[in-house]
Structure formats: structure tokens, C-alpha cells
Amino acid sequence: MVTMRDMRRYRVDNCSIERTLAVLGEKWTFLVLREAFNGIRRFADLQTRTGAPRQVLSARLSRLVEEGLLRKVPYQEPGQRQRDEYRLTQKGLDLYPIMIALMHWGDRYLADPEGPPVVVTHRDCGAPVELHLACEEGHRIAGPREVTPRPGPGARLSTPA
């Protein structure tokens, strides 16, 4: 059995959480993604819905495209110049459970007394969406005390000092 003491022997310079936060780890990025998941695709609409300053929004959109979370799709209104819409890629769509987890945490600890501002429901039956952790065998996991971190294939041992 691997203990926490054993895990301290491994380096963390290739940590997946740290790398994810390097891409996503600030407010405007999550607000842009929130709107993308809600079907908002155009710059002006994203700016209105997020309240992001123009330069900040432009930088975030560029980074999300560069990282492969969004892709640009050209469109043109009659009589106007060509512009780009921003659409989620599969890599971006794979962030949906993270967005739902953040929303549920905020609903639980930060919502107004009246309750959450948005409830996400299953399109087919109308029931509220819940997020659960489970192992590959299908057992539900209630929290961190029910898991054991183990070195993965990318784990690297620390060199002795």
C-alpha cells in the first residue's frame, strides 16, 4: 500500500492540477467558458454577458483558442465585415464536469438566501443534474478519505538533496 509519506518522494513539477490552472486559473476564463456552454459565441455578446474589458476578453479568447478549448468560426452579417464566433471544441466540452462542480460548490456555499440563480436539468426528464465521483467498478466515492493517491505512469521520483 502506498502511503502519503511515499507520495512525498515524488516530484510535483508535472502536476496535472497545476498545468490545468495555468490554462484556466482566473475568473475571466471561467466566465467566458460559462457563456460558451450557454451558447454565447460572439465577442460583443461575450463582453456584455461577462462584463470583461475588451482587451481582457480578447486575450482570454486568444488563449482559449491557442489551448484548443475554443475554435474560431467565421460569420458575416449582411453588409458587415467578416467576424469570428467562438465555439467549444471537444477539449473545451470536456471541461463541463468542472464547470458543474464549481457551480454546485457556489450554490452550496455562496448562493443568495433564495437559492441558486440557475438550476441545470436533464433535457430528457427535467430532473436536476448531480455530479458524482465513482471508481471504474461503479462504486460511488463520497470524499477524499475514500481514495488513495498512487504514483501514475508519469510520476517522477525526487532526487535526494
Find the mean pLDDT for residues 57-80: 96
User: CB of 155 within 8 A of CB of 147?
Assistant: no
DSSP type of residue 146: G
* pLDDT digit string, tens, across residues 3-16: 667 777 777 788 88
Q: Is 13 exposed, middle or buried (0-12, 13-18, 19+ CB in 10 A)?
A: exposed
User: CB of 92 within 8 A of CB of 36?
Assistant: yes
| Domain residue limits, the chain | 4-94+131-146
Q: Is the pTM of this model over 0.75?
A: yes
CA 119 to chain centre: 18
Distance CA 3, CA 136 (A): 22
Q: Locate 16 and state its grid cell.
A: 496535472
Find the mean pLDDT for residues 70-85: 94
Hey, what CATH topology would domain 4-94+131-146 get? Arc Repressor Mutant, subunit A (1.10.10)
* Structure-model confidence comparison of residues 99 and 154, the more confident one: 99
